[in-house]
Amino acid sequence: MHLLVLGLGYTAARFAAAFPGTVTAVRSRPGPGVLTLDSPELPAAIAAATHILSSVPPAPSGEDPVLVAHGDALAAAPTQWIGYLSSTGVYGDAGGAWVDEASPLKGRRSGRLVADEAWQALHPAARVFRLPGIYGPGRSALDRLRAGPVARIDLPGHVFSRIHVDDIVGAIGVSLTRGAPGVYNLADDEPAPGEEVTAHAARLLGQAPGPLQSLETAQMSPMGRAFYAECRRVANGKMTRDLGYVLRYPEYRTGLAACFGESQS
């Protein structure tokens, strides 16, 4: 087994570390012995890989840089498995309703929609994994609170879906041998308000939860505010049914407890 990883970010790096075989990584910055999308060796690496995973997001222009540079080679690759890390943002606002893999795609970022659909159509072995908010060691509400105050937004009825990075790795790992090609939502069982998650993390750290604030008065970036413009609950039935994957952290409380325990070890 030989995995080619295109883009070695937080999630893809953890999957690469758990992969039971040889791994070749393609990074954005060149260096000695490092492959980039421009490396002349990359077409041969694509042809030699038994498994290929891309975590490279679309460019600001909306184009997927991997598909622009190597779409034809990937489409013709003799690989037995291709995975692409997409986003549940492709569903857009659902007014708090549940969305599954058959729900309409109406996200605000057209580039992500185009890339999601392009990877689906790329290869008979392609799997597209739609991910909600990703958290885990070094990247959770605990770490944000350690860095400084975190706004707790009072927006009744608003929830986010999320998933621990180890469950992403676990579900993708299962898909190497189970489940048909296609689209999979990877999410935990309990969409929850962001302010509730922040409050729980504060208590784990021995802090008093910060006061609730309105979205209008909170000092947030435009990107942070944009997240609150959408509300949806991401259904994971296909993940559990077709992949047979059992979540290690079915909700944020167990996931944050694991993050906290790891940070104390």
Least confident span in 28-32, 74-78, 105-109, 232-236: 28-32
pLDDT band at 103 (very low <50, low <70, confident <90, very high): very high
Asked whether 101 and 120 are in contact (CB, 8 A), the reply is: no
pLDDT band at 265 (very low <50, low <70, confident <90, very high): confident
Which of these, 42, 49, 54, lies nearest to 11 by C-alpha position? 54
Mean pLDDT (the chain, rounded) = 94
**DSSP-assigned letter for residue 60:** T
**DSSP-assigned letter for residue 217:** T
Separation of alpha carbons 43 and 105, rounded Å: 32
Q: Is the pTM of this model over 0.75?
A: yes
Digit-coded pLDDT (tens) for 161-215: 999 999 999 999 999 999 999 999 999 999 999 999 999 999 999 999 999 999 8
Which of these, 207, 210, 204, lies nearest to 258 by C-alpha position? 204
